[in-house]
């Protein structure tokens, strides 16, 4: 089946199988910033923005994304750069595998909450796991980014 996706501003046509998931469609076509962690909707590494909403690409059938707008970190380079600076300043980076999914989640958080409280930040980010960190440095980095102390 053919589907058409607007990925980071560019329309691309893909041929997909009925049981193909969007994460595989993207990664098989060199969009590899979207990470495959658990492949079972539990870790958040594969988070993308679909029509501006965060979803898990590992569990979204590609056919269902037909004619949608998709943003990965490459499509949000400016914001992602700021998030990276905040992460660096707080020492929140380790292996970095969880970062692309987390960055997109942080962008979605900023878009949906004006001044999120600490609890709102934690609640919003709970689905993004990091196997390296203890989350404290990332939490501080998210606050730094939202408060624009870069």
Partner 1 sequence: MQITEYYKAATVEDAYQRLNLDSSNAILGGALWLKQTSKPIQTAIDLSALKLNVIKQESAYFEIGSMVTLSQLYDADSLHQMTDNLLKESLASIMGVAFRNMATVGGSVIGRFAFSDLITPLLVLQAELVFYHQGQMRLTAFLDQKKPPKDILISVRIPTIKGRAFFKKVSNTVLDFSILNLAIFKHESVLIGVGARPGIGTLAQAMMDYLNHADKIDETVINEAVEIGLQTIQLSHNQRAQKAYRKQVLKTYLKRGLIEVMNCEH
Ligand X SMILES: Cc1cc2nc3c(=O)[nH]c(=O)nc-3n(C[C@H](O)[C@H](O)[C@H](O)COP(=O)(O)OP(=O)(O)OC[C@H]3O[C@@H](n4cnc5c(N)ncnc54)[C@H](O)[C@@H]3O)c2cc1C
DSSP structure string for 130-149: -SSS-SHHHHHHHHHHHTT-
- Which among 17-25, 27-35, 81-89, 91-99 is the span making contact with partner 1, rule CB under 8 A? 17-25
CA distance 129 to 23: 17
Q: Are 127 and 44 in contact (CB under 8 A)?
A: yes
Strands 2-7 and 69-71: parallel
At closest approach, how far in Å is the CB of 108 from partner 1?
Answer: 8
Q: Look at residue 60 and give the partner it binds from partner 1, ligand FES, ligand X, none, a contact being a CB closer than 5 to 8 Å depending on partner kind.
A: partner 1
Tell me if 55 contacts ligand FES by CB under 6 A: no
Tell me if 40 contacts partner 1 by CB under 8 A: yes
CA distance 25 to 61: 10
At closest approach, how far in Å is the CB of 96 from partner 1?
Answer: 19
- Which among 10-18, 61-69, 125-133, 140-148 is the span making contact with ligand FES, rule CB under 6 A? 125-133
Q: How big is the CA angle at 142 (ends 138 and 143), to the nearest 5 degrees? A: 120
- Residues in contact with partner 1 by CB under 8 A are 1, 18-19, 21, 40-42, 44, 47, 53-56, 59-61, 63-64, 105, 108, 123-129
């Amino acid at each position: 089946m053919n589907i058409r996706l607007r990925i980071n501003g560019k329309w691309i046509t893909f041929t997909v199988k009925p049981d193909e998931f969007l994460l595989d469609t993207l990664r098989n076509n060199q969009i590899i910033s979207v990470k495959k962690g658990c492949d079972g909707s539990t870790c958040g590494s594969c988070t993308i923005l679909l029509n501006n909403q965060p979803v898990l690409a590992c569990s979204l059938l590609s056919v269902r994304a037909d004619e949608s707008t998709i943003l990965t970190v490459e499509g949000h380079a400016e914001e992602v750069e700021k998030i990276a600076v905040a992460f660096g300043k707080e020492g929140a980076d380790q292996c970095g595998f969880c970062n692309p999914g987390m960055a997109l989640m942080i962008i979605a958080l900023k878009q949906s909450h004006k001044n999120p409280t600490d609890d709102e930040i934690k609640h919003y980010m709970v689905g993004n796991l990091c196997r390296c960190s203890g989350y404290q440095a990332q939490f501080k980095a998210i606050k730094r980014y939202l408060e624009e102390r870069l």
